[in-house]
Structure 1
């Protein structure tokens, strides 16, 4: 039996729903390569990956609340797919999230709503925390890519809470947190035409590569100089100082030494 509102994905029937066998055998870890965890900034990526899977396999009616699973209990195919989605959710979350949301009576929509609520409830407190982390983010000794991605994850988390961070504010915060090695690079960013976050990240990664190569060349040059031409000459070995001549006893009082 086809589920209400489903578009065709199997056979030639335009009203047919997704094939339960295809959904059941899908390796969700290949499609959602992140684990949802309170300790890491993975919520935005986790939600985005799942949203793509829902769209690709026409599964929105299982998670958007448009279909009540109570009315679908006699539809074996629909219930099979719903159970598969629940298994996907439990497979892609950390152990500390499993116990707060697990319930034998929940359908896929209920589990999806619970998991999203864990990251969007208490929005005001979470916004305050994320704002402090965002504006205090510093590169320190981390690589440019790690630093920039850390900022981007914070922006994504704020967006999930309805707080949009403008590109101008993101770029300003990024430049303010760069370490001293990128002082000149930060000034040059202002010369980029229509700067965007991807453009600036690409430029900083190239600059980081250039500085790394420059340091390597300087070290190599110093080693060559020290090996071939930069070693100070060896001091000559000290020569023995001449000792006193043969001992001569003093002449008797009043008599000079004989002339040689």
Structure 2
């Protein structure tokens, strides 16, 4: 046809499903937030990455929902329920019991989780600092376990705005080692000083 350019990209296809409907198991993409192995900051980074990739960031970024009278509201509410399922499906039972409520939205749940982790920052920071500075190899099942627990505690401290730099992490690792590691500790300490 003379007037047909063949370009249909300007009109969305009403039969095309929103990308959010292609997610079948969110736990394969976002690990379970427990505040210890998976920290709040790591979880939010992963969640936001997926929300952006599936074009649903506006459900958790303070963007107001459409008015209930808006023709897009039903579609928005359906997608919001899926995002809410993602949130509930990627948090531990302990956290879920603190944020689960009827008639919630993804934004409300997102805000409750943020508040649960950030409102008591000073108290959490103090507790984590105590655990971090008092952890020793003797309290762990192996050297790998000891190093991993210190790294996990350092990540948790970052969530409460107490950055543990690499130098401090190494020095703390050395401090918690028993005497038989003194020679190795001295070598590492010497390397840290240079």
Shared fold (TM-score greater than 0.5)?
yes
Q: Deviations over 1:78-109 (max 9, x none)?
A: 33321111001111223333233122332111
Q: Deviations over 1:22-81 (max 9, x none)?
A: 323312010013x2336x44333433321321233333221110x112537642433332
The residue aligned with 2:153 is 154
The residue aligned with 1:95 is 93
The residue aligned with 2:21 is 24
Counterparts of residues 106-185 of structure 1 (less than 5 Å): 106-140=104-138, 141-185=140-184
The 3-state SS of whatever aligns with 2:91 is coil
Q: Which runs of 5+ in 2 are unaligned?
A: 1-7
Q: Which runs of 5+ in 1 are unaligned?
A: 1-10, 196-260
Deviation at 1:126, TM superposition (A): 0.9
Higher relative CO (Cα under 8 Å, sequence separation at least 6) belongs to: 2
CA distance in 2, matches of 1:13, 1:143: 60
RMSD: 3.0
The residue aligned with 1:71 is 67
Counterparts of residues 233-252 of structure 1 (less than 5 Å): none
Tell me which structure has the larger Cα radius of gyration.
1
Which of 31, 45, 52 is matched with 1:55 structurally?
52
State whether residues 34 and 92 of structure 2, in contact with CA within 8 Å, keep that contact through their aligned partners in structure 1. yes
The 3-state SS of whatever aligns with 2:67 is helix
More helix, by proportion:
2
CA distance in 2, matches of 1:184, 1:15: 68
Moved over 6 A (4+): none
CA distance in 2, matches of 1:85, 1:194: 49
Structure-2-length-normalised TM-score: 0.77
The 3-state SS of whatever aligns with 2:124 is helix
